[in-house]
Amino acid sequence: MIQTLFAALTALFLFAGCSGHTLESKTSESYDFSKLETVAIIHPHIDDPRTTSAQKIFDAAIAEEMKKKGYSVVSDKSKADFIVTYHLGATDNRQLSNDYRILGIAPTYYSPYYGSYGYSYVVGKSTQSFEESEGKIIVEAIDPHDNNIVFWNAKMTDKLKRFKSAEEREAFIREVVGKVFTSFPDRKR
């Protein structure tokens, strides 16, 4: 009994952290990645006071991933060999589900189909509403020296989560960025 309970709790904790994210990425097969050394990370209105703390964390996480891959991060986009830009979004989804359930059997004393006695089902309708929020990040790598060609992009969607602390949220953002950049090539030296 105790072993079964322990196994069930272990499985619960292992799978509770799994998420149903989707990740798509595309890389240009003909693009020459060997010429890339420096990167600038931009998003609209970087100096805007409305820039969220999440955007600042994404900036830092992307810079960290680029450094891990061997690229030098520069703040001036005119000095960068390529630019990484990203877009964040969230949507709310609502689903309605109708469920018809047999609540029981009741005697029927008159029915035009079955005669003057018998039994019939008592059916009840139950409507449930499910709401979930989904977050999306779209990342693009752009060559500003070659007609602003997008040579790599990735998109990841996942259910939004609530975090107990800012540190937990930052760790999650860094994990998401790490997953997004798994298909981005390392710097060729």
Confidence at 29, pLDDT banded by 50, 70, 90: confident
Same-domain check for residues 115 and 178: no
Instruction: Let me know if residue 153 belongs to a domain.
Output: yes
Per-residue pLDDT of 73-102, as tens digits, reads 998 888 999 999 998 888 888 877 777 776
**Range in 2-11, 75-84, 128-137 the model is least confident about:** 2-11
Same-domain check for residues 26 and 76: yes
Same-domain check for residues 39 and 123: no
Domain count, the chain: 2
Residue 49 is inside which H or E element, if any? none
Same-domain check for residues 103 and 80: no
Give the per-residue pLDDT at 16: 36
Same-domain check for residues 25 and 101: no
Q: Residue 43's Cα: distance from chain center in Å?
A: 19
Instruction: Let me know if residue 15 belongs to a domain.
Output: no
Q: Are 131 and 94 in contact (CB under 8 A)?
A: yes
Tell me how crowded residue 84 is: count the other CB atoms within 10 A of its CB. Answer: 24
Instruction: Let me know if residue 14 belongs to a domain.
Output: no
Same-domain check for residues 42 and 113: no
Instruction: Let me know if residue 7 belongs to a domain.
Output: no
Per-residue pLDDT of 59-73, as tens digits, reads 899 999 999 999 999
Burial zone of 154 (CB within 10 Å; 0-12 exposed, 13-18 middle, 19+ buried): buried
Instruction: Let me know if residue 117 belongs to a domain.
Output: yes
- Supply φ then ψ for residue 57, to 5 degrees: -70, -40
Residue 5 is inside which H or E element, if any? helix 2-16
64: left (phi over 0), alpha (psi -120 to 50) or beta: alpha
Q: How far apart are CA 87 and CA 65, in angstroms?
A: 17
Domain with 176 in it? 20-91+132-183
Q: How far apart are CA 37 and CA 65, in angstroms?
A: 14
CATH number for the domain including 44? 3.30.160.670
Same-domain check for residues 104 and 117: yes
- Supply φ then ψ for residue 66, to 5 degrees: -65, -40
Instruction: Let me know if residue 10 belongs to a domain.
Output: no
- pTM, whole model, 2 decimals? 0.67
